[in-house]
Amino acid sequence: MNTGAPLLGVLGHPIGHSQSPTLFADILKRAGRTEISYRAFDLPDIQHFPDLVAQHPNLAGLNVTVPHKRSILPILSDLSEAAQALGAVNTLVRQGDGWVGHNTDVWGFQRSIQPFLANRHERALVLGTGGSAAAVHHVLASLGIDALGVSRQGNSTAGTVAYGRPALGYDELNAFVLKHHLLVVHCTPVGMHPQDHEMVPFPTSFLTPDHLVVDLIYNPAETRLLKEAKRQGAHALNGADMLRLQAEKAWEIWSQSGI
């Protein structure tokens, strides 16, 4: 049972890059809930989640980031409709002795990308096959955008099962594929601080000014992928707005739960 003032936090590994504590400090201040604390929890192995909960009996809600958006599912007692449909969570609410998983990535991604979409963005390439990619595929499908997954494994089991269709390998991307997919969304942690110099093996030389390249990473604000995309004249968008919007939705869920 929770004791003391509620504790919120973000769970992931590594977690030092996360801007969520700063973001939620502002959200909590604006809500007049300064008695609530928000912390970052670095958890390499999700099997240790029950130990973390036992150590913090006042833990009432959590954001979940890579690599635990999928791996934590067996530990949860219930899922929201969206989380169940996606097979991934990014927000948890403690209810009694269990945890309920929600997904606010869908909310955040859709509202962050819609102002930048044009009629030409009718087909997309989604780089990655994790929990964030699942949310992106869900949003693009709802917007009528035909999305094709891209992964290091190519036509992988993960891509086929999660999205109902094969995924391309990076080595299969060429000028023809890029010409017909003018929206690119990067959903992996490659290039995240402090590995700012890294980038997935995406052929940026085929990008044009008609392309919109979205990187869900927000730290650094401009990843190597976005820098190279801009050199080709493509429009570039990072994940800062998505982070803010999904966080505000998470706070709404927590508030409605009685936190």
pLDDT in tens, 151-205: 988 765 444 434 555 689 999 999 999 999 999 999 999 999 899 999 999 999 9
Total length of the chain: 259
217 touches 251 (CB < 8 A): no
Written as six digits, the tokens of 53 are 């909960």
Give the pLDDT of residue 1.
43
User: Is 137 inside a domain boundary?
Assistant: yes
- Tally of domains in the chain: 2
Place of tokens 């080595």: 171
Is the domain of 126 the same as that of 233? Answer: yes
User: Is 82 inside a domain boundary?
Assistant: yes
In CATH, what number is assigned to the domain containing residue 18? 3.40.50.10860
End-to-end CA distance of the chain: 14
Q: What number is the average pLDDT over the span 26-48? A: 97
User: Is 116 inside a domain boundary?
Assistant: yes
Place of tokens 């990655």: 128
Q: What number is the average pLDDT over the span 74-84? A: 95
Residue 165: name the closest of 151, 178, 176 by CA: 151
Identify the residue with better confidence: 238 or 4.
Answer: 238
DSSP run (H or E) holding 63: strand 59-64
Is the domain of 78 the same as that of 67? Answer: yes
Range of the domain at 181: 107-241
Is the domain of 30 the same as that of 149? Answer: no
For residue 146, pLDDT over 70 is answered with yes
Give the pLDDT of residue 155.
62
For this structure, is 179 an active site residue?
no
235 touches 98 (CB < 8 A): no
Give the pLDDT of residue 2.
47
Average predicted confidence (pLDDT) for the chain: 93
Q: What number is the average pLDDT over the span 119-147? A: 94
Give the pLDDT of residue 182.
98
Write out the E strands in 96-202.
98-102, 123-127, 146-151, 168-169, 183-186
> In this structure, what DSSP letter does residue 225 have?
H
- Catalytic residue from among 69, 179, 230, 249: 69
- Those residues whose C-beta lies under 8 Å from the C-beta of residue 245, and which sit 6 or more positions away, are 104, 107, 108, 111, 112
User: Is 2 inside a domain boundary?
Assistant: no
Indicate the range of 21-25, 129-133, 146-150 predicted with least confidence: 129-133
Is the domain of 111 the same as that of 180? Answer: yes
Angle 11-12-14 from CA coordinates, rounded to 5°: 140
Is the domain of 115 the same as that of 198? Answer: yes
73 touches 101 (CB < 8 A): yes
In this predicted model, what pLDDT tens digit does every residue of 172-185 receive, in sequence order?
A: 999 999 999 999 99
Residue 194's beta-bridge partner residues? none
Q: What number is the average pLDDT over the span 79-90? A: 93
Alpha-carbon torsion, ordered 113, 116, 120, 124, to 10 deg: -30
Give the pLDDT of residue 165.
58
Give the pLDDT of residue 230.
98
Three-state DSSP at 9 gives strand
Report helix angle 105-113 to 240-256, nearest 10: 140
Written as six digits, the tokens of 38 are 């928000």
Give the pLDDT of residue 77.
97
Is the domain of 124 the same as that of 33? Answer: no
In this predicted model, what pLDDT tens digit does every residue of 206-216 receive, in sequence order?
A: 999 999 999 99
User: Is 27 inside a domain boundary?
Assistant: yes
